[in-house]
Structure 1
Amino acid sequence: MEKIVDRFQDSLIQSTQDLIRIKSVQGNPEPGMPFGRGPYLALMYVLALADRFGFTTKNVDGYAGHAEYGHGKETVGVLVHVDVVPGGEDWIFPAFAGEIHDGRIYGRGAVDDKGPAVAALYALKAIKESGIKSSKKIRIVFGTDEETSFAGMKYYLSKEPAFDIGFTPDGNFPVINGEKGILVLKLKKQFARPMSGNIKIKSIKGGEAVNQVPDLCTAVLEVVAGQEVLINERVEEFNKKFGNCLKSEQNGKEIVFVMKGESSHASMPEDGINAISLLMLFLNELGVIRDDLGDFIRIYHEKIGLEHHGESICCGFRDALSGKLTLNVGIIDCNTQGVAVTVDIRYPITTKVDQVRDGIWHALEGTGITVEQTDHDPPIYFPEEHFLVRKLLHAYAEATNDHQSGPMIIGGGTYARAAKNMIAFGPVFPGEKELAHQKNEFISIDNLVKITKIYAASLWELAK
């Protein structure tokens, strides 16, 4: 099958570029498009491609769709997604152009998860063209809202038969045998006291997705004449300390602040620079805001600050299997009436979610800040001796001659949570930097071809 994959390498590359060019960020629902036009167009693209390859396809009410090949009572499933997080700022090349530079395909979704989705489809094409017969059906399911709620996949699985075994190409090699729990909380405070003083904050806005470290945050301040000198001095001091990340512009009585950070996946907040937390640090250091919002900023600084692991907000848990809890402030929305901060937490597999919630509630007790849970996915774990872990680990080792690397547990949340006997399998190889949700996301052409060959061999191993 490897020679077959080599034969259609050019088409594999072109299809990946074409899919990246579809801006499939979740949008407003439309008839037949429950997650907006972008994810729908991406779904239609992959289903049309699967049709051309001669697979049986089905669109399940715009929530998801599948391509199927083979016969048998059992089904091997591959769960992929064609939606992406927003592009973000400061890309070297456009986020939705699919341009090739130095042997790499750049674009949002290149590695998470459009490149692997196309690779899985071409892997199935390689099996079909090889002429070998399997004893199981193989079905690739294309989800449309993995980055937000999994609602599309849940809807799909309520309408279609479950899988017997399978994987999602949305993690790391050699194989992912566990994923931390995911808890999303909204911290809210309504302002009772009117804003006062020489400096008033009219708004703070930042972040586009809770599972992404925000790379931009803005604040609008109203200032009394004469305070500009103080503010300019503080901006200059801050930029000396943190590397010219803060810009300010005066417009009459208002000053607009723009804080630049560095995007990364929320499960690895240490790989990014959180623009929201940096701006809250600056506002706290101004030290002249003495109203309810000023209290909130102070509490944010004390309980969250620039930390990544929740130590100061009483949820700094860790275990030997999966490491430290991570905490990412993904979105802030603040006006003169109140503030809401949305937080993404990835907690260790042996920790109970009640321990995390109780710790945060205790830390914020008496502050007037309410804590609302908006989403929760418990951790998953497969022991190393589990047959699916062993099968995929063997397939990877045979394809790469890497017999040293072992299973791992990640903080990311994948479609492995959506069905039984599913685990994440690639596409990131050992030692490679994780580029999901980061600016300048790319997949190398060599890796795209390599993972296609690995997925073809693995699917055959599971289906024969």
Structure 2
Amino acid sequence: MEFNKKIDEMKEELVKATQEVVKIKSTQDDGKAGMPFGEGVGKTLDKALEIAADLGFDTYKEEDGYYGYAEYGEGKDYVAVLGHMDVVPEGDNWIHPPYGAEIHEGKIFGRGTLDDKGPTIAALFGLKAIKDLKIPLSKKVRVIFGTNEETGSSEMHVYNKKEKAPVSGFTPDAMYPLINAEKGIRRFHVVKKLSPCNCGIAIKSLKGGIRPNMVPDKCETVIVTKDTENIVKAVKEFADKKGYNMKAEIVNDNVVLHLFGVGAHGSMPELGKNAVMQTFDFLGTVAKGSCPLADYINFFNKYIGFETEGTSLGIACEDEPSGKLSLNVGVAEINEEMANLWIDIRYPVTMKGEKIMDTLSKKFGECGAKIERVEADEPLYFPEDSKLVKVLLKVYTEQTGKEGKAYGIGGGTYAKELPNIIGFGPIFPGKPDLDHQANEYIEIEDLIMNAKIYAHTIYELAK
């Protein structure tokens, strides 16, 4: 079978198609008719379906615009490739335009090149190779274009109500060689009502972070105080002592504190520098005495601080398939009446999320805070001897020449949203994980290799 040769012949077409979808900004926005997650997401879905139709595939778009897919082959059962066309916000500090899809040094730069637009288009071209070579299959193949993976995957709730489940498949929303264990997730708000304080300061506003599954890279705080000059001085001294990237200015008799950290994916918070918790670290030095605000800040400094495994909260745990629990304070919003943190926890596949939440509820109650708006995502686990794991690792080993081994991650790939799906690529071992980070890119060579691996994988699952 000449899959690889055929994909090499389509290289320019594959690169161009990837650029076309990356150039459309598809962060979630206000919904409208036929575009439930905003115009940008809707246009990207339409573009992906247009590309699929031009490649000769049958296409379908859900009547309300929640999802679409391209199909090839016959049969009652189908193999699925599940990718998403929505992206997280671009953030700052890009060296190339985040929606320019520009090529520099053999890399396509842009939000979504790696997560998930580029590899989903690569899978589509892998299926195109099978189609053009007229390779017979026993099952239908469906490349699904999702639209809401980054902010809840609610489009897949619609999909699962309307569509039959696939018999097997994968999502290019993870890493190679293969992800067979994905931690459970709990996202929730920790809320406390505040009252006038006598701790020397008041927080008029504190805002940091944009998504719970991202380590916040900046936080801005407006501090009300009668001692503005000394607070500004304290900021400089604290920055020098700690090495934090922070600065303060006096605006309308208030101190405005700007703190800049380093973003990272919420499943690996240890790779970032949390701007919210660095801000709390400073505020703990200027909020004197005991009051609702100071108690809240001091509690989080004591029991979370810069820990990312939940040790001081009493929830640290780990297992063999998926590793240690992780904890990320992803979003913070405080004013003079309310303190609200949005926390993202990823827990091992053999642990119980309910038990962890019970422990946290009791712990947060010690500072008068309570947990609200819990979002639950259960663990996913495919044993290493399962057929799907064996097939995908076989293809990976044959195509890369490197032995493939399954391993666990912090959870949250798209595989959890559809039965019988496993996380497979697109990031190769030793390559940087740039999901949700500035200057996201995919190497063109890796894009092509993904298409080759996915072509062989689709064939093995559907032959």
Alignment partner, residue 38 of structure 2: 36
AA of the residue aligned to 1:452? A
Residues 289, 447 of structure 1: CA spacing in aligned structure 2 closer, same or farther, 3 A cutoff?
A: farther
CA distance in 2, matches of 1:274, 1:366: 24
Q: Is the 8 A contact 2:17 2:121 kept in 1?
A: yes
Give the secondary-structure state (helix, strand or coil) at the position aligned to 2:434.
coil
CA displacement, residues 329-348 of structure 1 (integer Å, 9 cap, x when unaligned): 11111111101111010001
| Alignment check: 8 A CA contact 1:89 1:439 kept | yes
**1:5-404 to 2 correspondence within 5 Å?**
5-60=7-62, 61-191=64-194, 193-196=195-198, 198-224=200-226, 227-288=227-288, 291-403=291-403
Counterpart Cα distance in 2 of 1:17 and 1:103: 13
1:453 alignment partner AA: K
Contact 1:315-1:355 within 8 A present in 2 as well = no
Deviation at 1:246, TM superposition (A): 0.7
Normalised by the size of structure 1, how large is the TM-score? 0.96
SS in 2 for 1:342: strand
Work out the CA distance in 2 between the residues paired with 1:177 and 1:133.
29
Equivalent position of 2:405 in the other structure: 406
TM-score by length of 2: 0.96
1:195 Cα offset (Å): 3.4
Amino acid across the alignment from 2:401: N
Q: Distance in 2 between matches of 1:379 and 1:138?
A: 26
1:248 CA drift (Å): 1.4
For 1:462, the equivalent position in structure 2 comes to 461
**2-side partners of 1:446 and 1:246: how far apart?**
39
Give, in angstroms, the shift of residue 174 of structure 1.
Answer: 1.2
* Preserved contact between residue 156 and residue 418 of structure 2 (Cα < 8 Å): no
Query: What is the CA–CA distance in structure 1 between the aligned matches of 2:211 and 2:199, rounded to whole Å?
Result: 33
**Correspondence for 2:421:** 422
Structure 1 position 242, deviation (Å)? 3.9
Deviation at 1:114, TM superposition (A): 0.9
Which whole-Å CA distance do the structure 2 matches of 1:84 and 1:169 have between them?
14
Offset, 1:185: 1.3
1:399-436: CA deviations, max 9, x gaps? 11112x31011113122112222101001112222211
Deviations 1:128-158 (A, max 9, x none): 1112121111001111001111110110121
The question of whether the paired residues in 2 share the 8 Å contact of 1:199 and 1:289 is answered with: no
Which secondary structure state, in structure 2, belongs to the residue aligned with residue 299 of structure 1?
Answer: helix
CA distance in 2: counterparts of 1:409 and 1:122, whole angstroms: 28
- My pick for the range that moved more, 127-136 or 342-351, is 127-136
Distance (whole Å) between structure 2 residues aligned to residue 381 and residue 197 of structure 1: 49
Shift of 1:72: 1.7
The residue type equivalent to 2:234 in the other structure is R
- The question of whether the paired residues in 1 share the 8 Å contact of 2:80 and 2:170 is answered with yes
> What's the offset of the Cα at 1:302?
1.1
Unaligned runs of 5+ in 1: none
Cα contact 2:201–2:287 (8 A) shared by 1: no
3-state DSSP of counterpart to 2:214: coil
Alpha-carbon separation, structure 1, partners of 2:310 and 2:193: 24
Contact 2:86 2:146 (C-alpha < 8 Å) held by counterparts: yes
Q: CA deviation at 1:395?
A: 0.7
SS at the partner of 2:298?
A: helix
